[in-house]
Amino acid sequence: MAHGTRSRGRIELEVIETDIAIIGAGGAGLRAAIAAAQKAPQMKIALISKVYPMRSHTVAAEGGAAGVVASGDTLDNHFEDTVAGGDWLCDQDVVEDFVAHATQELIWLENMGCPWSRQASGEVSVRKFGGMKVPRTWFAADKSGFHILHTLYETSTQFDNIVRYDEHFVVDLVEDNSAIRGVLTYDLHNGHYRLIVCKAVVLCTGGAAQAYRDTTNATIVTGDGMSIAYRHGIGLSDMEFVQYHPTGLPGCGLLITEAARGEGGILVNKDGYRYLQDYGLGPETPLGHPENKTMELGPRDRLSQAFWHEAKKGRTAKTALGDVVYLDLRHLGRAKLDERLPQICELARSYVGVEPAVAPIPVRPVVHYTMGGIRTDIDTATSHCGVFAAGECACNGLHGANRLGSNSLTETLVYGHRAGDMAVEFCRQTQAPNRSALTKAALSRADALMAQFDVADQGQSCAQIRRELGTLMEQHAGIYRHETGLSQAVREIADLKSRYKAVDLKDKSGRVFNFELMHWCELGFTLDVAECMVHAALWRKESRGSHQRIDAECTQRDDDNFLCHSFATPTPNGAPQIASQPVRITKSAPGRRVYGGEMHTNGKVQTEDYDEEHDDERQ
Ligand SMILES: Cc1cc2nc3c(=O)[nH]c(=O)nc-3n(C[C@H](O)[C@H](O)[C@H](O)COP(=O)(O)OP(=O)(O)OC[C@H]3O[C@@H](n4cnc5c(N)ncnc54)[C@H](O)[C@@H]3O)c2cc1C
């Protein structure tokens, strides 16, 4: 054990050696660990998570995972739906690779014990998600994430070479001579710092939706891995693309899965009118009609934008928790709701006091997914040798400007697997790292962190800064954005970052389960990510997918200037620099996104329609 000293006492640093350090034990991290353990039984794998693996956000996924299996479906269909859904910003070689590997991962999971829902014939059931031509979402009732994660977790316990570090908070990566070869963690149980010396690091730390006020995401989804990578000079791509899910519960943000609409649920405004027909999302069809192919099953960005317009027209219902529309499931009947959608019925009962079999559920768009993240190539490698990333924290170009529902769970499997394999290959060609240099660097990092306890009280608190951040992101970087609002967000985030440094930690009782210390670290990560989001959104002077600008000259998609990824890297003055990177197009030339009808409004609004106060409808 190595020691360092500082004014607040001795810092104890336990040094552990491993081959591969995987940060995150959600879908991507567990899949990476299993792949690496299978490929290299002699290698040591450290699996690090700030919560117990089964509490990772993957557990909350409801609707299911996409993979071609139904008769009449093809890999080309899956490819085309993904690319069109992503508004042609997807790297098409990645999409081809993804669809080709998707189904085999889902079958592998079944072989490991995942209880996919089945038809009476015994075949796997699939349901339709937004933007799909053909049903291809495998599901386990509406608890798909739970069953997937549980299957992965149980499978991982079979491998002796996977050593878990649960409730270990990763503070930073550690470099020796510019090579990242260590992970500094803080053990919540006893407050000890651990340095995990390794040859390869795999980041699987999930998304960053907690940058926003209203979100479906767990409070732990704070963008840690994205920020940590970025601070070490690894660029973040497409951060301006943040997905709103059209059906979150007001107030708490809990998700009512798209599968509810896949099963035939319809969306109506305060007058009981199926308003989506006014937004080019297809003709009205009778309740639960099988021809309801678009409408409620249009892509998420379009549905969220339609809500915004309805609110502008005064056709949403006002509640104490903000404006809402209604998701009507009554016509599905109690038996089907109990069989296919038990969890969302429970959520509606518990959180908004509605029984879905007898009354429509109030819903509104809430932030759900970050399309952007740590830039990787098709094989999960980042720009930094020996550092890989997979799952929601990564951006390999799969989702483009808008992720298609149910592609993400499959992504965690396909690219988690790939990352595990790649890390093994990298380790085979890499020398053991310099333990003493890494220890010195880690001690100095831990020491700097502990200095936060010495900051004098200047009236700043994590909770206040976090609240302000969430509100400003919602107001200025929400469903619709414009230059004035984004510029204001840039200034306000810079101000929040300086106030953040002045937060004094009130809990000086020690480091054992010191959640204040952890939340302070998380807030720092979220601020970095939010800053990249608003800078990238300001840079992208066009409207595409989930990024819709309403300044007069930016309301259209502009393939001449912006058929490219944004790429954020840190600069010495702290603010990100945004550059462009080419989009790889293999076989689908950019076209129009048409879902079941002509777009009447093309999801666009005129500048004069916008009113800055509007977005904060919550009373
Ligand atoms: C409510 C909800 C429903 C969804 N439904 C679907 C769906 O039906 N279909 C679909 O395809 N997608 C769905 N998604 C999206 C999908 O679930 C996620 O994108 C995916 O599960 C992310 O998996 P992941 O492994 O990348 O990250 P996560 O599951 O979020 O795991 C992140 C891991 O990183 C660890 N970690 C993070 N920071 C640190 C740190 N500093 N130190 C140590 N450990 C750290 C965490 O402890 C955790 O183990 C849904 C998302 C939500 C929020």
- 566 token code pair: 């944004």
Give dist(CA 213, CA 565) in Å, integer: 26
Cα 65 to ligand 1 centre (Å): 13
Condensed to tens digits (0 to 9), the pLDDT of residues 286-328 reads 555 555 557 888 888 889 999 999 999 999 999 999 999 999 9
Condensed to tens digits (0 to 9), the pLDDT of residues 406-422 reads 999 999 999 999 999 99
* pLDDT of res. 259: 86
Helix (H, G, I), strand (E, B) or coil at 416: helix
Q: Measured between alpha carbons, how far is residue 286 from residues 258, 274, 315, 465 in Å?
A: 19, 10, 21, 47
Distance of CA 588 to the CA centre of its chain: 26
* pLDDT of res. 598: 35
Q: Does the active-site annotation cover 245?
A: yes
Residues of the chain with pLDDT under 50: 6-7, 597-619
Q: Are 417 and 35 in contact (CB under 8 A)?
A: yes
Cα 126 to ligand 1 centre (Å): 22
Pocket-testing residue among 408, 413, 417, 523, ligand 1, by greatest number of atoms within 8 A of Cβ: 408
Q: What is the DSSP string of 559-580?
A: HHHHSEEEEEEE-TTSSEEEEE
Closest atom, ligand 1, to C-alpha of 49: 44
Give dist(CA 446, CA 83) in Å, integer: 44
Give dist(CA 423, CA 413) in Å, integer: 15
Give dist(CA 611, CA 308) in Å, integer: 12
Give dist(CA 65, CA 73) in Å, integer: 15
Give dist(CA 98, CA 107) in Å, integer: 15
Condensed to tens digits (0 to 9), the pLDDT of residues 261-289 reads 988 999 999 999 999 988 877 766 555 55
Q: Is 63 in the pocket of ligand 1 (CB under 6 A)?
A: yes
* pLDDT of res. 273: 95
Cα 57 to ligand 1 centre (Å): 4
Helix (H, G, I), strand (E, B) or coil at 592: coil
Which among 31, 168, 261, 399 is annotated as catalytic? 261
**pTM of the complete model:** 0.93
Q: What is the residue whose two structure tokens read 């409730």?
A: 167
Closest CA to 188 of 170, 205, 173, 206: 170
Cα 26 to ligand 1 centre (Å): 6
Q: Is 470 in the pocket of ligand 1 (CB under 6 A)?
A: no
Give dist(CA 303, CA 324) in Å, integer: 13
Q: Does the active-site annotation cover 55?
A: no
Q: Is 148 in the pocket of ligand 1 (CB under 6 A)?
A: no
